[in-house]
Amino acid sequence: MKEAVAHTAFHNSSARFDPPKCHPNTRVAVLQKIMDWIHRTDWQTLYRYILWLTGTAGAGKSSIAQSIIELCLLEGMVIASFFFSRTDISRNHGGPFVATLAYQIFFSVPTTQRAIEAAIDQDPLIFKRSLDHQFDVLIVQPLRAFYNSVDTSDPACYRLIVIDGLRY
């Protein structure tokens, strides 16, 4: 699996040394709104499982994403991250996207390891399949099994995957 991973896309990659983050006392309201969504304390976003942060280039979306990751790391909530970059050929396309997330999920949610290993053993060329298929087999199914085995009303099971720079 590690050959298919874009290690430079991790939130803590050495390739992203000193990544942009919000300066202290800036974007406080935005960060708080996102943290309220993550902690499920905002009744307006209680049943929204995806938060899509949009804005123009240079508006600070990457800084916000990095700051949120750093806040959530303190709470043990980060499962995985992927930071796309137009200038880095290892992460300027979707090819390594699923492998990179699955690699991080494998280590951050140990109960997914057996399912991820089995999927790779069953199909050694899984990383050559469509992204939809990879995503279903390596991310959705293992995480679904994890969430089916825990009390989802317990805030300790809240986990976060951050994707930055995804273009639609």
Residue 142 CA to residue 135 CA, distance in Å, equals 10
Q: Per-residue pLDDT for 18 more than 70? A: no
Distance CA 93, CA 53 (A): 20
- For 17-26, 41-50, 127-136, 143-152, which range has the lowest pLDDT when averaged over its residues? 17-26
Say how many residues make up the chain: 168
- pTM of the predicted protein model: 0.88
Distance from C-alpha of 37 to C-alpha of 18, rounded to nearest angstrom: 26
Residue type, 128: K
Nearest Cα to Cα of residue 102 among 45, 143, 132, 154: 143
CB 83 within 8 A of CB 91: yes
Residue 122: φ, ψ to 5°: -65, -35
How deeply is 45 buried, as exposed, middle or buried, from its count of CB atoms within 10 A (0-12, 13-18, 19+)? Answer: middle
Beta-bridged to residue 161, according to DSSP, are 80
114-165 confidence digits (pLDDT tens): 999 999 999 999 999 999 999 999 999 999 999 888 887 777 777 899 999 8
